[in-house]
């Protein structure tokens, strides 16, 4: 990567500069809303859902939220990773680009770097585990990259990277743990802020200060009724730290979300312990979030003035949120993209926080749908247990979710 001494500092101004650099190479992804999901998020959970949780027997939270979705699944290569890869290459010198670039990745970063390099006529070497999804291998090769296969462990990948680097002199472009990557990912935060501000102003003008749930929610004293909070998924932390950097000082709260079954919530545990967790071994259906938070992203995420909190959600909650996005919004996403919505719908810690701080005014909550790189076959396998038993797929929603969704037009 670019010498850290040449990197821009992790500030909002640097994200704005990064945005200027990558705008010709990435999509301005749309922001959309969904009345059904905003109503569902503003409806108390059934007491039955809270059985066997720390909230059993307590009053379910009654937050008021208006949801806005930043659709990075419509980004080039189908995920937000295109932003960081393009910014990273824009910061390399001509001589460095002539050497080519290299990374190891089994998915979205592989495709993102391959495309960014192709646009600039730069040779890209992508080390991919042999167990990588065939469609992702094909897409990476389709962008002209030299795909070299390796074992699945980080040690096996890094060994092959070192071998190819020695042969080619290529520059390593990591997927998240570098300032240039973080600043590139943060550009979605700038767009999200501006897009929602424009949307809420238009809603006020066109609908006489009423919209979606009967009102445009906004925190007390907030100017222009834009976003009050943003939630992004957290794996390596490049996106979360980038968005937090972009929105720092704006008054918009930034939260992270990650899986939490069987110890996959390394960020939550690290924040609780006051130190970064360096490895995660447990698998999750949110395959893009299996990586521990990187060293540089951790410096941002562990700063409470930049990231308010990080929350965990279960595998079943992720599946339910993913199902709702596909059925109610008609938007195709991968499991990792569903953790933010799952937090708003099901995490009582977050929901009680919104109820307490936003009150009757409520919050405009932005959710990043980080990517859509999955397949129909993979989705079918995700839900096939229910199909085999012949039971209706309800997940953690139960009758409450069905009733609310049926009574509100999507």
Quick check: is 81 catalytic? Answer: yes
* 205, pLDDT greater than 70: yes
Q: Find the catalytic residue in 64, 81, 306, 319.
A: 81
Quick check: do 12-78+178-407 and 100-169 share a fold? Answer: yes
Instruction: Catalytic residue, from 14, 106, 320, 336: name it.
Output: 106
Listed range (167-176, 273-282, 400-409) with the worst mean pLDDT: 400-409
For residue 392, pLDDT over 80 is answered with: no
pLDDT exceeds 60 at position 61 = yes
Alpha helices, H only, 248-375: 266-273, 295-301, 315-324, 339-346, 348-358
Model confidence pLDDT, tens digit, residues 222-254: 444 799 999 999 999 999 999 999 999 999 999
- CATH no. of 12-78+178-407: 3.40.50.1100
Nearest to 324 by CA among 410, 235, 256: 410
The greatest distance separating any two alpha carbons of the chain, rounded to the nearest whole angstrom, comes to 65
- Measured between alpha carbons, how far is 240 from 47 in angstroms, rounded to an integer? 32
Give the model's pLDDT for residue 312. Answer: 96
d(CA 108, CA 79): 7
Mean pLDDT of the chain: 88
Domain ranges of the chain: 12-78+178-407, 100-169
Could you tell me the two tokens for 274?
């006051």
| pLDDT classification of 168: cutoffs 50, 70, 90 | very high
Nearest to 343 by CA among 368, 360, 371: 368
Lookup result for tokens 């069905």: 402
Strands 363-369 and 309-313: unpaired
Model pLDDT for residues 93-144, shown as the tens digit of each residue? 999 999 999 999 878 999 999 999 999 999 999 999 888 878 889 999 999 9
For 75-99, b where at least 16 C-beta lie within 10 A, e where not — what string?
Answer: bbbbbbbbbbbbbbbbbbeeebbeb
Of the CATH numbers 3.40.50.1100, 3.20.20.10, 3.40.190.290, 2.60.120.10, which one belongs to the domain with range 100-169? 3.40.50.1100
Task: Write the burial class of residue 48 (CB in 10 Å: 0-12 exposed, 13-18 middle, 19+ buried).
Answer: exposed
């Amino acid at each position: 990567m670019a010498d850290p001494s040449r990197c821009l500092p992790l500030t909002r101004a640097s994200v704005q500069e990064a945005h200027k650099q990558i705008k010709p190479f990435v999509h301005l992804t749309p922001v959309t809303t969904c009345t059904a999901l905003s109503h569902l998020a503003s409806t108390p959970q059934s007491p039955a859902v809270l059985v066997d949780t720390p909230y059993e027997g307590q009053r379910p939270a009654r937050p008021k939220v208006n949801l806005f979705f930043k659709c990075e699944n419509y980004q080039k290569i189908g995920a937000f990773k295109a932003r960081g890869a393009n910014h990273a290459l824009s910061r390399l010198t001509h001589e460095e680009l002539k050497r080519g670039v290299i990374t190891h990745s089994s998915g979205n970063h592989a495709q993102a770097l391959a495309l960014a390099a192709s646009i600039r006529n730069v040779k890209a070497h992508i080390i991919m585990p042999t167990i990588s999804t065939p469609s992702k291998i094909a897409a990476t090769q389709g962008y002209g990259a030299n795909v070299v296969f390796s074992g699945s462990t980080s040690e096996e990948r890094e060994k092959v990277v070192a071998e190819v680097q020695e042969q080619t002199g290529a520059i390593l472009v990591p997927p998240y743990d570098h300032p240039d990557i973080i600043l590139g990912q943060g550009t979605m935060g700038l767009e999200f802020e501006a897009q929602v501000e424009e949307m809420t102003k238009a809603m006020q003008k066109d609908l006489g200060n009423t919209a979606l749930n009967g009102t445009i929610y906004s925190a007390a004293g907030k100017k222009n009724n834009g976003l009050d909070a943003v939630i992004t998924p957290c794996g390596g932390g490049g996106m979360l730290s980038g968005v937090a950097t972009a929105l720092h000082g704006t008054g918009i709260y930034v939260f992270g979300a990650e899986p939490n079954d069987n110890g996959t919530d390394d960020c939550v545990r690290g924040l609780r312990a006051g130190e970064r967790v360096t490895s995660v071994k447990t698998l999750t259906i949110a395959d893009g979030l299996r990586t521990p938070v990187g060293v540089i992203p951790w410096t941002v995420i562990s700063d409470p003035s930049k990231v308010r909190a990080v929350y965990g959600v279960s595998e079943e909650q992720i599946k339910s949120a993913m199902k709702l996005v596909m059925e109610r919004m008609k938007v195709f996403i991968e499991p990792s993209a569903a953790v933010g919505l799952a937090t708003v719908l099901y995490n009582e810690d977050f929901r009680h926080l919104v109820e307490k701080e936003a009150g009757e005014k409520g919050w405009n909550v932005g959710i990043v749908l980080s990517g859509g790189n999955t397949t129909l076959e993979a989705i079918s396998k995700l839900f096939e247990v229910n199909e085999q038993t012949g039971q209706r797929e309800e997940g953690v929603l139960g009758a409450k979710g069905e009733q609310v969704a049926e009574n509100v037009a999507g």
